[in-house]
Every structure is written in structure tokens, then in C-alpha cells.
Amino acid sequence: MNPSTSSGNLGHRFEELFEFSLALDAPSVEMVYRIRHDVYCRELGWEAVRDDGLEMDEYDRHSVHCLLRKRGSGDLVGCSRLVLARPEQPSFPLPFELSCRDVIHRDQVDPAQMPRHDVGEVSRLAVMSEFRQRQGESDKPVSVGEQDFESRGGQPRFPFIPMSLYLGAAAAARHLNVENVFVLTEPRLASHFARLGFDIRPVGGEIEHRGIRVPSLLSSSKVVSNLRPLIKPLYAVIDKLVNSSFEAHPEALERLRPSSR
């Protein structure tokens, strides 16, 4: 990293280039579904292509979605979601509880024994192809710095976008008082995030789920405490925008906040 680069520039530069918000109204949620359809259905073939161009599932009705767009043009960049316990059926398993049923280290942590209002899962993270790392860079560590905003060979490189979407989901969890947030991710990506101070630790063995994945756990209240100084301004900006989203839609905060009853 250029030693002259100020850590505060990362958050400011992020705001200059991107618009981050929670998708708390119907038009925004539709944008999320369109990103997912473009990535999961048309590009990767992980889900069936749908006539309406929207990828959604049964977990979306009790999830809060993060939406990232390019500032100025409004181009869709990426999305993620935080799946919450079902209000009408709290014991209903989260997606990872089904796919990782046999590999969770229950002697360390057992999500089935946790208060269900205190458990969530980050999933359906998708980034449009033009904003992902260039071919040949997929095996490189996640790095964050001013150079990540530069164009290389005519192709912009924003490898920190997945982190911003994870941070957005974690910030949403904190605002919703959901402490224990699980994520099913590539071991390499989780390891890179941990090196950047992201409070994430594996809680189970590997599974095959569109590649090798491992279940991990983060505490939403501890996300910011160990982040490297370079990353904290990015989290501060995203947390501010999450708060603004909820302030603009107070009914959503009330609807989404899990009950402890």
C-alpha cells in the first residue's frame, strides 16, 4: 500500500464511487433479485433461468437485502442478504443449517441451541461480472488500498466489493440486534477477511456447495473492534448508510427486528 495513502480515504472514495443501501422497498428488492438472476442463473447456471428475470427463494420474505450500485449511472454492482429466523416458525432452519447439518462442530457452537432471535445468516452474495476481479487474479489475496480504485488495462478492479457487502449485512445484523451471524464461504475468502481483522471464525468442516465451502461465524457487535485501521472507515460509511436506510423506513426496522419471545 502506498504509505502516503490515508486510511480515511477508503470510506470517502467508496462513497464517491458507489451507492450502498438496504433494499427496503419493492423497487430496490427487485434490483437485488435481478442481480442474483444475472449472476446465479444466466452467468453461473446455479439456478434455472426465469422468464421474469428475478431470482428469489423462500428465505427472501424474512431477509434484509443489501444493494450496491455505481454512483452516477446507477448501474447494478452487487447484493447480499441477511436471512433471519422466521417470525411464525423460529425453529425453521437457516440455509446453512441444512447444507452443513453433518459438518457443524456442535461441541463448539450449535445454532439449533441458540435463541433464534439472535441468529442470522449472510447468503446470496452476488457481484456483477464487470466488477469482479479480472481473470487470473482469483487466487490472489483480498487487498484494499487506493490502487484498488484504479483501472488496470482498461478494466476497473474493486476486490473489496465482497467485503463491503459482508460488512453491510453485519451492520444490518447489529441494528437488528442479531448477534450471531453465520456465513457459508470459501475457506480462502474467510481467511483473507480474517487477516483484514474481520471477526470471522470457522465452525464446521468443508462441504461441496458450488465449490468448497465452510460454515463460519461472526459476532455483529465485534465486527468493528478488530478491523485494520484501513478498513474501519469503510465500515463506518456502510454503518451510517445502513442506519440511514432504516431511518427512511422505520416500519421495516420494526418488521424485521426478530422478537425475543
Per residue in 9-30, pLDDT tens? 788 888 998 999 999 999 999 9
What's the CA angle centered on 240, arms 29 and 32, to 5 degrees?
A: 15
Q: In whole angstroms, how far apart are CA 11 and each of 46, 196, 197, 236?
A: 33, 15, 16, 7
**pTM reported for the whole predicted model:** 0.86
Of the candidates 48, 61, 52, the one whose C-alpha atom is nearest the C-alpha of residue 34 is: 52
Percent composition of the chain: helix, strand, coil (DSSP 3-state, to 5): 40, 20, 40
pLDDT, tens digit (0-9, with 9 covering 90-100), for 99-136: 999 999 999 999 999 999 999 999 999 999 888 754 44
Between CA 27 and CA 39 the distance in angstroms is 19
Give the three cell numbers for residue 105: 462442530
**DSSP strands (E only) in 170-230:** 180-185, 201-202, 207-208, 212-219
